[in-house]
Amino acid sequence: MRVLFLAAALAALLTSGCDRQAAPQSEAGEQAAQPGGPGLDRSQAGKAMPADTFKDGEGEDTSLPAIAAGKPLLVNLWATWCAPCVKELPTLDALADRAGAAQVAAISQDTATPDKVRAFLSDKKVGLEAYQDGEMGLSAALGSQILPTTILYGSDGKEIWRFTGDLDWTGAKAAELLKEAR
């Protein structure tokens, strides 16, 4: 049963993810909020972060609550084969290096070993930890079917918003959105 679920989840990611075009932007510059679609989505605001485990850069089990430790957390689901994901990784890395910024957890959805994910990040000169959800349990718990998907959690562990599609996380739009971290 689990194999069928993983196959279905992988098929959904492969067919619905990285190649979708962004939704039209509103006058305020926000992409249309469509639950499960590209752009900004607040439909799950207030939902607690899942405690599902995935691997850290050393191959050990970890979870979002363990990483967050009571602080705001920006969770990015990505994959090495997803061009928009790879495009935004350097901006997530730069955001993670900023003093006072939310913590950043970029979690690979690749089925490769953590060593391969770490090597990929190193090759791209991205210093983010090589978190990996190779069984896609976390992405399933989050209901994420499109990569990249980025979710902001407050220090209370509750979802504030999610953004589907790539974004320059060092840009003005991201700065406005990240002001909501609490």
CATH number at residue 64: 3.40.30.10
Given a cut of 80, whether residue 22 has pLDDT beyond it is no
**25: in domain:** no
In a domain, 111, yes or no: yes
Predicted confidence at residue 115, as pLDDT, reads 85
Say yes or no to pLDDT of 178 above 80.
Answer: yes
Averaged pLDDT, 60-74: 95
CA 97, chain centre distance (Å)? 17
Tokens encoding 172:
């003005």
Confidence label for 17 from pLDDT (cuts 50, 70 and 90): low
Q: How far apart are CA 165 and CA 38, in angstroms?
A: 6
Name the nearest CA neighbour of 39 among 146, 143, 132, 113: 146
**Other Cβ atoms closer than 10 A to 83:** 11
Give the structural domain span for 142: 2-17+35-178
**Model confidence at 14: pLDDT above 50:** no
The mean pLDDT value of the chain amounts to 84
Selected residue with higher pLDDT from 88 and 14: 88
pLDDT at 23 over 50: no
Domain count, the chain: 1
User: Does residue 148 have a cis peptide bond before it, meaning omega lies within 30 degrees of 0?
Assistant: yes
pTM metric for this prediction: 0.81
Residue 22 lies in a domain: no
